[in-house]
Amino acid sequence: MDELLKWREEFPILERTTYLINNSLGAMPRGVEAKLREYADTWATRGVRAWEESWWDLPAQVADRMGALIGAAPGSISLHQNVTLTQAVITSCFSFRGPRNKVVLVDLEFPSVVYFYQEQQRHGARIEMVRSEDGIRVPLEKLLEAIDEQTLLVPISLVLFRSSCIVNARAIIERAHRVGAQVVLDCFQAAGTVPIDVASLGTDFAVGGMLKWLCGGPGLAFLYVRRHLISKLEPTVTGWFGTAEPFAFDTEHLSYHPTARRFEHGTPPAPAYFLAQGGLDVIAEVTPERIRARQGELTDHVIARADEMGLPVRTPQERGARGGVVNVGVGPEAGKICHALLERDVCTDYRGDGLRISPHFFNTEDDVDRCFDELATLL
């Protein structure tokens, strides 16, 4: 812990705020400001030359750095604006018009993903929704049973956004592959805090973003594609950055890029790549393994304080079964309580009647205690 505490000074917001909302927007490292200044200076002094001199290669460089954190080989990740768009790129590689047209979802998925796939019913998709019995865990046996020979895609989160429950991704992937289906593993609530090896898991696709635990700000998501699939897939959500020779301007022939860059589309958001590097610098040095260990201690402390106050916990109690969020039930006024805490410079968020408290490696037990001490005055 003492070794990790040196990082507190690298996050300016911690000087004045008890920041426990890292599952929503990770605290900004100081390095991000320097990277943004670099971007502004490059644009100001080099103008359009910046594309050829540095910006053009940034997507691949940042993608490979991101890949190193989740066990993805170089050239297997492309970058996009958000995870919903990554789902659109993936589905554009397939057709829902044949007999294999089923998408298996769980009702605990993030709503944006559910909305997206429900609307694919316009194009022939059949949705099978597997419902949780307790609102915390995925009913694994029911999910595995739903994945059959008519299933095309199984979009599933490794860590559920509401309860922070870790899903048995390996069992889901093995079942999907046994019947010829493919898995889209959403790592948004896991990347950076839960050690992941996408190659070892064998997932077909993995998605996530810089916004949360990776502390890289909004505007950048990643899409991993299993190596042997890359050359076989041709997305219809595409654009000039997905081609082998973007500056050929050949409108008669579309030749996809040989690497995962084939899943890119239009002109990329250069500022977001600079933001992302500031977060990746920190997370890569600290390492997901050390973050995982420290976060386990802190979330244990959150659960202990909730137990002391008699508040229900809607997150698995076992450290190995949960990610970095603890959902603490505070009643129907959760929204008002969350905003009252914010007025006291304690940042959490809420879903339904629960506060989601999400410490990162740079937080302390004192941060957690302050949150609960303030919370006690509001209940």
> Which spans in the chain are helix H?
2-5, 30-46, 49-53, 58-70, 83-91, 111-119, 140-146, 169-178, 198-201, 227-230, 270-286, 288-308, 334-343, 365-378
pLDDT band at 3 (very low <50, low <70, confident <90, very high): confident
Percent of residues, the chain, with pLDDT higher than 90: 95
Please compute the mean of the pLDDT values over residues 289-295 and round it to a whole number: 96
Domain boundaries, the chain: 2-28+287-378, 33-283
How does the average pLDDT of the chain come out, rounded? 96
Q: What percent of the chain has pLDDT over 70?
A: 100
Q: What is the pTM of this model?
A: 0.95
In the predicted model, what is the mean pLDDT of residues 324-337? Answer: 96
pLDDT, residue 1, reads 63
- Whether 370 shows a pLDDT value over 70: the answer reads yes
- The predicted model gives 331-350 an average pLDDT of 96
Buried b / exposed e across 323-352, counting CB within 10 Å, b at 16+? bbbbbbebeeebeebbeebeeeebbbbbbe
Rounded distance, CA 222 to CA 218, Å? Answer: 12
23 within 8 A of 324, measured Cβ to Cβ:
yes
Q: What was the pLDDT predicted at 352?
A: 87
In angstroms, rounded to a whole number, what is the distance separating the alpha carbons of residues 291 and 45? 38
Q: What is the mean pLDDT of residues 325-348?
A: 96
CATH T-level topology, domain 33-283: Aspartate Aminotransferase; domain 2 (3.40.640)
* Fold match flag (2-28+287-378 vs 33-283): no
Fold observed for domain 2-28+287-378: Aspartate Aminotransferase, domain 1 (3.90.1150)
User: Rounded to whole angstroms, what are the CA distances from 156 to 69, 129, 162, 173, 277?
Assistant: 20, 12, 14, 10, 27
pLDDT in tens, 22-72: 999 999 999 999 999 999 999 999 999 999 998 998 999 999 999 999 999
